[in-house]
A and B are shown apart, each in its own frame.
Chain A
Amino acid sequence: QKEVEQDPGPLSVPEGAIVSLNCTYSNSAFQYFMWYRQYSRKGPELLMYTYSSGNKEDGRFTAQVDKSSKYISLFIRDSQPSDSATYLCAMSGEANSKLTFGKGITLSVRP
């Protein structure tokens, strides 16, 4: 079993839809959970990060962590064509700040 599993996609939704992106993990040492957004042919940029379990909201984006289930989610409300990108989950929490990434899911929001 891989340390971090992410739904493979791709995912295509109409503009205005609510999007749910998910990752599961197996390493109980993970404490920090991140979502990166990567536009085509660009480097990833940090979208949100969460420490331990709970929810965090930033505008149209909500990150949710359930450590008991080893499951994290990113919700996008009122999705826009500009949200079309690859979304990568990442986690850390062992001895240093090395990150373990999911494979990424490509989202397309249709106008």
Chain B
Amino acid sequence: DGGITQSPKYLFRKEGQNVTLSCEQNLNHDAMYWYRQDPGQGLRLIYYSQIVNDFQKGDIAEGYSVSREKKESFPLTVTSAQKNPTAFYLCASSIDGQTLYNEQFFGPGTRLTVL
């Protein structure tokens, strides 16, 4: 089955620790995205990548880092510099990132809680 997987489903982190969220897709999509969802805030774009070895900051990139070494993988690191990291994190992919519209397919999300 084609799709997007995110792991883990739930993640707990102590303050001051970095943590990496995994996102893998087997849809052969060029573009991948990371969003953060807070209650009452909708989805906010953290980083996106239109092609391997390239990525751009979204609207709320501070305190986060990403890499795109493989087409199918786009891990997100939440660093200790992120002041309020507790949130629901969603990864998405689309066929490409250049066309004005391509459907974005979402993974099941990772809920991160900072203790």
A8 to B106, CA, bound (A): 23
Q: B43: CB under 8 A from chain A?
A: yes
Q: Which residues of B contact A97 (CB under 8 A)?
A: 31, 94, 96-102, 104
> Is the contact region of chain A dominated by helix, strand, or loop, or is it mixed?
loop
A41 to B102, CA, bound (A): 24
Q: Which residues of A contact B109 (CB under 8 A)?
A: 41-43
Q: Which residues of B contact A43 (CB under 8 A)?
A: 4, 90, 92, 106-109
Which 5 A/B pairs are nearest by Cβ-Cβ distance? A43-B106, A103-B42, A32-B101, A101-B43, A101-B42
A88 to B40, CA, bound (A): 11
Binding site for B on A (CB under 8 A): 6, 8, 31-32, 41-46, 49, 51, 88, 90, 92-93, 96-99, 101-104
Nearest CB in chain B: distance from A97 CB, A: 5
With contacts A32-B101, A104-B42 taken as known, whether A42 is within 8 angstroms of B94 at the C-beta atoms is no
Q: Which residues of A contact B48 (CB under 8 A)?
A: 98
Q: Which residues of A contact B41 (CB under 8 A)?
A: 103
Q: Which residues of B contact A96 (CB under 8 A)?
A: 50, 97-100
A44 to B108, CA, bound (A): 8
Nearest CB in chain A: distance from B87 CB, A: 13
Query: Among the interface residues A49, A51, A98, which one has the most CB atoms of the partner chain B within 10 A?
Result: A98
Q: Is the CB of A45 within 8 A of B42?
A: no
Nearest CB in chain B: distance from A96 CB, A: 5
